[in-house]
A and B are shown apart, each in its own frame.
Chain A
């Protein structure tokens, strides 16, 4: 089936550092979504991207839809403790007249004490 490669799998960072994560695939996507999940809760939508090259911000978060439409990037600037959680990318593609949402395995963000 379709696959999304999300990296890194986990990150240990110091408070105040910038964070970067990405998702790549061999498939072309129509839409990219970025979610955050905190322990014991469902994923929450952070940013949605709809066209190649699009750059969208949500506070300290910035995401980009790759120009090839096969990848997307999420950056978090000046990380704070509440950024801890698991970040998921999801890409939507049209296949056999049906839209499919393909999920990355997640990037776990951990703040060093």
Chain B
């Protein structure tokens, strides 16, 4: 299995508070991705990174920002969480821009 961890695994927070989710990899893969998964929508790409300090938006990037200061870490920040951001968040990594390997997910609840 690809070495990917996500933290925290579960989080409950209140509307308006900032939240940061962390993805850590030990595979030295170049590409990292953040997805959210909601019933009826499958996996939707939020942001991705193609190298240290190189990031780009996905299809549902509004309300989210990312940072990648080291190869192994990719952070997803919700500057001011809203109830519509309640979801399960998955990080994925890829070394060849084809197969992506997923972390275990973070379940976020915004009250």
Q: Which of B14-22, B78-86, B98-106 forms part of the interface with chain A?
A: B98-106
Which of A31, A41, A105 lies in contact with B41, CB distance below 8 A?
Answer: A105
Within 8 A of A (CB), among B53-102: 59, 90, 92, 97-102
Does A41 lie within 8 Å of B105, measured CB to CB? yes
Which of B40, B42, B90 lies in contact with A42, CB distance below 8 A?
Answer: B90
How far is it, in angstroms, between the C-alpha of A31 and the C-alpha of B45 when the chains are bound? 18
A97 vs chain B, min Cβ distance (A): 12
Does B98 lie within 8 Å of A48, measured CB to CB? yes
Number of A positions contacting B (CB below 8 A): 20
How far is it, in angstroms, between the C-alpha of A103 and the C-alpha of B40 when the chains are bound? 12
A2 vs chain B, min Cβ distance (A): 10
Q: How many residue pairs, one in A and one in B, have C-beta atoms under 8 Å apart?
A: 41
Majority SS of interface residues in chain B?
loop
Which of B43, B97, B101, B104 lies in contact with A103, CB distance below 8 A?
Answer: B43
Does B102 lie within 8 Å of A43, measured CB to CB? yes
Does B42 lie within 8 Å of A103, measured CB to CB? yes
Does A42 lie within 8 Å of B98, measured CB to CB? no
Set of chain B residues within 8 Å of A42, measured between Cβ atoms: 90, 92, 102-105
Q: Does A66 contact B (CB under 8 A)?
A: no
Q: Does A113 contact B (CB under 8 A)?
A: no
Does B43 lie within 8 Å of A43, measured CB to CB? yes
How far is it, in angstroms, between the C-alpha of A40 and the C-alpha of B102 when the chains are bound? 12
Set of chain A residues within 8 Å of B103, measured between Cβ atoms: 42
How far is it, in angstroms, between the C-alpha of A106 and the C-alpha of B103 when the chains are bound? 18
Set of chain B residues within 8 Å of A40, measured between Cβ atoms: 105
Point out which of B43, B59, B100 has the most chain A C-beta atoms below 10 A from its C-beta.
B43
Set of chain A residues within 8 Å of B102, measured between Cβ atoms: 35, 42-44
Point out which of A42, A45, A92, A105 has the most chain B C-beta atoms below 10 A from its C-beta.
A42
Residues of chain A touching chain B, judged by Cβ–Cβ distance below 8 Å, are 1, 31, 33, 35, 40-45, 48, 88, 90, 92, 99, 101, 103-106
Residues of chain B touching chain A, judged by Cβ–Cβ distance below 8 Å, are 40-45, 59, 90, 92, 97-105
